[in-house]
Amino acid sequence: MVVHKKAGLKEFELIRWIQRQAGCSSHLTMGIGDDCSIQPQQEGQDLLTSTDLFIEGVHFRRDWSSWFDLGRKAAAVNISDIAAMGGTPQSLFLAIGRPNEMSDAEVEEFISGFLAEVEIHGAVLAGGDTCSSPGPLLISVTVQGTVATTEAICREGASYGDAIYVSGSLGDSALALQLLKEGQQPDPYLAGRFHTPTPQVALGRELSKRQLATAMLDVSDGLLADLNHILTASGVGAELDLAKIPLSEPFQSALSENFSLIDLALAGGEDYELVFTSPLKDLDSQIELESAVRQIGIISLEPGLRVRQKSGELYHCQRGGFDHFT
């Protein structure tokens, strides 16, 4: 008798196993392992593709968000994967597993939000699938975009001495989620960061066109976990400066009452900001960019990821990044 044990592999162990089984193909420049796959097209263009699941009770709760905002977010977090490669989003595919008790009005509101977000980015809903679900609402979104050949920014290009930058601010979305879980209402800014994140498409495009970044990804699982993907893929380490992590005013005001909240900025997730490395120092003060970026650290030869406090002592984050199986 075959005994099926509960999930034992961690999320990334399972993905690595799938990656080995799948192998690679000469028609792809990049397969499994980055924010998007890269498939060369004719005339100097590469096709970027990424897919993500959005499951009720895992990724969202219907009592916390409007259906319109959930639709927007389902599109935004996928478009963010195109931004993370420096590409332009073009076509989205939306598959819906609809629970019986979800009304027509709710489905319509969800789709309206999805379409509104898609339109903001000049993309289009190009297909999908619709069926019933005996359990929770299941959403699967695939996004395709384009990038000029050689301009896609992957996770594997970071080198010793590169500066590490992050756009916007970190921790806002995770703080909003924590407040919602505690039954509190986050202030409108924090709530907006959680319900309707903004994919950094223009900044990603600019960094790739001007070839300013050596490696890049979007922060979905938390800064430390996501930066670790760059370090592993590039075979380097990093040192971060805790005092330089960019924080919004509402986040700082919560932090002034409880310093342990800093772990939400380091490992909270769902920021959908871009983290990238660049040989150029002081990019934040020297170059005018689409969005504000902040240098938060440096790539080191010594493997691993260290976060240093102002005093020079190491800071140990108490939170792990998000893993679906732990």
Query: Using CB under 5 A as the criterion, which residues of the chain lie in contact with Mg ion when the complex forms?
Result: 52
> How far is residue 202's CA from residue 291's CA, in Å, rounded to a whole number?
8
Residue 234 interacts with ligand ADP (CB under 6 A): yes or no: no
Q: Is 220 in the site for ligand ADP (CB under 6 A)?
A: yes
User: Which residue is associated with the tokens 């590039």?
Assistant: 234
Report d(CA 138, CA 231) in Å as an integer.
Answer: 32
Distance in angstroms (rounded) separating the CA atoms of residues 51 and 35:
9
Binding-site member from 9, 15, 24, 301 for ligand ADP (CB under 6 A)? 15
Q: Residue from 9, 13, 17, 18 that binds ligand ADP (CB under 6 A)?
A: 18
User: SS3 for 188?
Assistant: helix
Instruction: Match 């440096």 to its residue by tokens.
Output: 298
Number of residues that bind ligand ADP (CB under 6 A): 9
> Residues with Cβ < 8 Å from 322, sequence gap 6 or more?
220, 221, 222, 225, 269
The yes or no reply on residue 173 touching ligand ADP (CB under 6 A) is: no
Alpha-carbon gap, residue 158 to 299, rounded angstroms? 7
Q: What is the DSSP letter of 260?
A: G
Closer to ligand ADP by Cβ: residue 186 or 222: 222
35 binds ligand ADP (CB under 6 A): yes
The contact mask relative to ligand ADP for 66-95 (x = CB under 6 A, - = no) is: ---------------x--------------
- If one asks whether residue 9 binds ligand ADP (CB under 6 A), the answer comes out as no
Which among 29-37, 104-112, 164-172, 287-295 is the span making contact with ligand ADP, rule CB under 6 A?
29-37
Interface residue with ligand ADP among 29, 39, 45, 52 (CB under 6 A) is 52
Residue 292 contact partner, candidates Mg ion, ligand ADP, none, CB within 5 to 8 A by sort of partner = none
Question: 285 to each of 42, 158, 175, how far by Cα in Å?
Answer: 38, 21, 28
Near ligand ADP in 243-282, by CB under 6 A = none
24 binds ligand ADP (CB under 6 A): no
Please identify, among the stretches 31-39, 59-67, 95-103, 166-174, the one whose residues bind ligand ADP according to the rule CB under 6 A: 31-39
Cβ proximity of 239 and 197 under 8 Å? no
How far apart CA 81 and CA 74 sit, in angstroms, is 12
Q: Residue 162 binds which entry of Mg ion, ligand ADP, none, with Cβ cut-offs from 5 to 8 Å by kind? A: none
Structure tokens at 271: 């920021």
157 belongs to the binding site for ligand ADP (CB under 6 A): no
Residue in the structure block whose two tokens are 């699967």:
140
Binding site for ligand ADP (CB under 6 A): 15, 18, 32-35, 52, 81, 220
